[in-house]
Every structure is written in C-alpha cells, then in structure tokens.
Amino acid sequence: MDDQRRQELWTIARENLQAARHAVQQQWYNVSASRSYYATYTAMWIAVDDPPHTRWQHAGIVKIFAQGQWQSNQMPLSRDLRKALETLYKHRLKADYHGRPVTVDEAQEAITTAEQVLTRVATEFDLSQDE
C-alpha cells in the first residue's frame, strides 16, 4: 500500500472514530458501535495491507491483525485486545443486523477498542492522531 492510500484510509478511520464519539453524545448508541467498528476495520486494513482477494472479511482481517506480523516487533495482540475486537464485532452485528439496541456502556466499550487499535496503528505507521 502506498503512502497516499494509507493516508486516505487513515482519514476514513479517524472520521469514523469521530462519528462514533459524536453519536454517543447524541445518544445514538447503535450508530456509535457501527462507526467504532468501521474505524477499527479501516485501521486494521492499513496495518495488514490490501486484501488478498476483492475485500477483507471480518474474520480474515482480525486473524491477520491479531497475529501482529504487521508490527515491527511482530508480537501477537494480547488476549484482551483480541477479545475486545470480537466483542466490538458483536456490538456491530447487534447494531446493524439484529435490530437490538446497543447500550451506552457497549457503545463506550466499542469506542475504547477503536481508540486502542487506532493508537497502535498510528504508532506503528507514524500516522497523525490529531483531531
């Protein structure tokens, strides 16, 4: 992935995180969880590069990301962060596909996971975290 594409995706990831934060302020918890998921998904895409086929599937991108081979120290993610990614995905499904309300706590948890992933990716790829 070239630098221009990385920056385009980084802008999208940060926009989604900002939208997730704004949605919580508006008490739009389902929207917030969905945006947190897509912020995370896009940041993982930056980390692991373009998909081997037409697009990334959730299980595939998380598996590659969790292995940590995109990091300079190539350490797998902690069990807690892997679990948080799976929980984030469940909140996103609940919000977008199951027609069930996401709680304020779940929306906040989703934002926290997104922030953790974006911070890791920003650090590894020297991307700006300025809002």
pLDDT reported for residue 131: 62
Of 131 and 68, more confident = 68
Report residue 33 as tokens. Answer: 């969880």
Q: What is the mean pLDDT of residues 69-96?
A: 92
Task: Name which of 91, 90, 118, 114 is nearest 104 in CA terms.
Answer: 91
Please check whether residue 37 is in contact with residue 85, taking contact to mean a CB–CB distance below 8 angstroms: no
Highest mean pLDDT among 44-48, 50-54, 127-131: 44-48
Please check whether residue 46 is in contact with residue 125, taking contact to mean a CB–CB distance below 8 angstroms: yes
Task: Name which of 21, 24, 119 is nearest 71 in CA terms.
Answer: 119
Which stretch of 51-55, 71-75, 111-115, 116-120 has the lowest confidence by average pLDDT? 51-55
Q: Give percent above pLDDT 90 in the chain.
A: 76
Q: The pTM is what?
A: 0.92
Q: What is the mean pLDDT of residues 81-107?
A: 95
Please check whether residue 78 is in contact with residue 65, taking contact to mean a CB–CB distance below 8 angstroms: no
Distance, CA of 43 to CA of 36 (rounded, Å): 11
Q: What is the mean pLDDT of residues 45-57?
A: 85
